[in-house]
Amino acid sequence: MNPSRSPFSAAQLRALAREHGTPLWVYDAATIRERIADLQAFNTVRFAQKANSNTHLLRLMRAQGVVVDAVSRGEIERALAAGYSAEPNAQGASGIVFTADLFDAATLDTVIRHKIPVNAGSIDMLDQLGARSPGHAVWLRINPGFGHGHSNKTNTGGEHSKHGIWHSDLPAALARIGLHKLHLVGLHMHIGSGVDYSHLQQVCAAMVALVKQTGVKLEAISAGGGLSIPYRDGEPRIDTAHYFSLWDAARREIASHLGQPVKLELEPGRYLVAESGVLLAEVRATKRMGGNDFVLVDAGFSDLMRPAMYGSHHEMSLIPADAAEDLSARPLQASVVAGPLCESGDVFTQGEGGVVLQRELPQARVGDLLVLHDTGAYGASMSSNYNSRPLIAEVLVDGGEARLIRRRQTVEELLALESV
Ligand code: LLP
């Protein structure tokens, strides 16, 4: 077990696996509170709940003064269930903002019914909302014409991205806002997930330039999300004070240009929850085939999709089945760690493009536990029922107490949907 990686001890995880079975998501509340505290310089921290939308985590966020972003009707309902509303908080920020590039009919009804501000990524959204809900609060999500991400799939700017209103269409969007008498709150730019400082400077400059060119009157700007976390041992943590100073300078420049106060929102998903979570799996088989030693665990890409989808790296640790065993006595082995799905891509040790990689781990044995670290973001929220595997349980550890915050789905529940 790599103690610098995990908020949990081996004994704690062994006990949780015994009590709840595997695979299992385990989250640490204290880590989430720490990450929130890192960002307290921002006026408003808006959690992009797509990273992890468990309502118990949303309640924890709410207790810390964090507001939320929702990208679907389901996420709006989750926010409402966690006690959020469209009402502004003490900083004047709405509890929920809905961000999307389109409305489906049911979601449009929901945002109108609950008066939820909309962060619009297309002019059609402004027309559809404005026609039914004049005066509704809107943000404009701007595509500045460039983007960046940890993979092409998480780059959300530039002409190949479907996201946002193209920067040069801002005057047209403002005209529609005027036509429909919508209420403009601010401009939002999210250029991708996993961005670095050079891109950050570029996006801050683009925000300032756009406001100066158009003279758009606004109350707030949103920096979007995208803060990365150190997924690999030895990788440095992002300097959140530097991050804040870049955006705050943009905010001040805009405020002085407009001659009015302007607030700053940040919309992180990954940063707040990734490091709080682990995926706990059990080793169920080992085999050597040619040059590869396979370690087969009971979690698959139906649970944690990131390695298969993006070639993402997650650190791994082994916990021996026998608490008395000293793992350092086992030889190290270059291992290919894979899951139970009937698909060759169900491998946790892979790079971009699906190339299979080996990971040095203590030689695994059936019954050991495997810990996949930093899986609190885009883990459970991206799970599926592929191979008819029920969604797995989630546990939240807060201080000394471990609480089941989602029970394991059953196969009967899957079948029930088809009893029509
Ligand atoms: N705001 C907007 C409008 C977004 O589209 C996203 C992420 C965020 C905020 C939060 O980004 P974050 O702070 O988490 O980087 N499934 C991928 C990440 C996809 C992100 C999509 N949008 C992954 O596992 O890496």
What is the maximal distance between C-alpha atoms in the chain?
73
Q: Give the H or E element holding residue 137.
A: strand 137-143
| Cα separation values, 185 from 52, 173, 218, Å | 26, 13, 6
- Look up residue 81 and give its two tokens: 């269930």
Q: Note the pLDDT of residue 3.
A: 63
Instruction: Decide: 227 in ligand 1 pocket, CB within 6 A.
Output: yes
Burial bucket for residue 246 (CB in 10 Å: 0-12, 13-18, 19+): middle
Instruction: Decide: 148 in ligand 1 pocket, CB within 6 A.
Output: no
d(CA 160, CA 205): 21
Confidence band for 104, pLDDT divided at 50, 70 and 90: very high
Three-state DSSP class for residue 232: coil
Task: Compute the half-sphere exposure of residue 336: CA atoms within 13 Å on the CB side of its CA.
Answer: 19
In the predicted model, what is the mean pLDDT of the chain?
Answer: 95
Cα 320 to ligand 1 centre (Å): 35
Domain 40-267 maps to which CATH number in 2.60.40.10, 3.20.20.10, 3.40.50.10420, 3.40.50.1370? 3.20.20.10
Q: Which atom of ligand 1 is nearest to the CA of 193?
A: 15
Q: Which atom of ligand 1 is nearest to the CA of 99?
A: 3
Q: Quick count: other Cβ atoms within 10 Å of Cβ 231?
A: 19
Over residues 141-174, the pLDDT tens digits come to 999 987 887 777 777 788 888 999 999 999 999 9
Q: Which of 42, 50, 195, 231 to mutate to test the pocket of ligand 1 (most atoms within 8 A of CB)?
A: 50
Q: Note the pLDDT of residue 283.
A: 98
Three-state DSSP class for residue 189: coil
Q: Work out the end-to-end distance of the chain between its first and last CA atoms, rounded to an integer number of angstroms.
A: 47
d(CA 130, CA 138): 10
Percent residues over pLDDT 70 in the chain: 100
Say which residues have a Cβ less than 8 Å from residue 247's Cβ, sequence separation at least 6.
42, 200, 204, 221, 223, 264, 266
Instruction: Decide: 307 in ligand 1 pocket, CB within 6 A.
Output: no
Active-site residue, selected from the candidate residues 342, 399, 401, 419:
342
Tokens 């959204």 label which residue?
Answer: 125
Helix locations, 40-85, DSSP H: 55-63, 73-81
d(CA 229, CA 380): 18
Q: Which atom of ligand 1 is nearest to the CA of 141?
A: 3
Over residues 127-136, the pLDDT tens digits come to 999 999 999 9
Angle at 268 between CA 265 and CA 273, to 5 degrees: 140
What is the average per-residue pLDDT within 96-105? 98
Q: Note the pLDDT of residue 1.
A: 64
Does the pLDDT of residue 272 top 70, yes or no?
A: yes
Instruction: Decide: 306 in ligand 1 pocket, CB within 6 A.
Output: yes
Q: Which atom of ligand 1 is nearest to the CA of 228?
A: 15
Instruction: Decide: 273 in ligand 1 pocket, CB within 6 A.
Output: no
Domain spans in the chain, listed from the N-terminal domain onward: 40-267, 274-416
- Look up residue 211 and give its two tokens: 């406001």
Confidence band for 97, pLDDT divided at 50, 70 and 90: very high
Does the pLDDT of residue 22 top 70, yes or no?
A: yes
Over residues 362-388, the pLDDT tens digits come to 999 999 999 999 999 999 999 999 999
Strand partners of residue 139:
119, 186
Cα 57 to ligand 1 centre (Å): 17
**197 known member of a binding site:** no
Q: Note the pLDDT of residue 160.
A: 87
Q: What is the dihedral of CA 134, 138, 141, 144, to 10 degrees?
A: 80
Over residues 310-349, the pLDDT tens digits come to 999 999 999 999 999 999 999 999 999 999 999 999 999 9
What is the average per-residue pLDDT within 116-133? 98
Q: Give the H or E element holding residue 254.
A: helix 240-258
Instruction: Decide: 94 in ligand 1 pocket, CB within 6 A.
Output: no
Confidence band for 116, pLDDT divided at 50, 70 and 90: very high
Confidence band for 48, pLDDT divided at 50, 70 and 90: very high
Over residues 210-251, the pLDDT tens digits come to 999 998 999 999 999 999 999 999 999 999 999 999 999 999
What is the average per-residue pLDDT within 72-94? 96
Q: Which of 45, 152, 193 to mutate to test the pocket of ligand 1 (most atoms within 8 A of CB)?
A: 193
Does the pLDDT of residue 87 top 80, yes or no?
A: yes
Residue 187 corresponds to which amino acid? Answer: L
Bigger pLDDT: 264 vs 145: 264
Q: What is the ipTM of this complex?
A: 0.99
342 is catalytic: yes
Angle 123-132/170-180 helices, nearest 10 degrees? Answer: 0
* Architecture in CATH of 274-416: Beta Barrel (2.40)
Q: What is the dihedral of CA 263, 266, 267, 271, to 10 degrees?
A: -160
**Is 24 in contact with 280 (CB distance < 8 Å)?**
yes
Does the pLDDT of residue 36 top 70, yes or no?
A: yes
d(CA 84, CA 67): 8
* Chain mean position to CA 312: 14
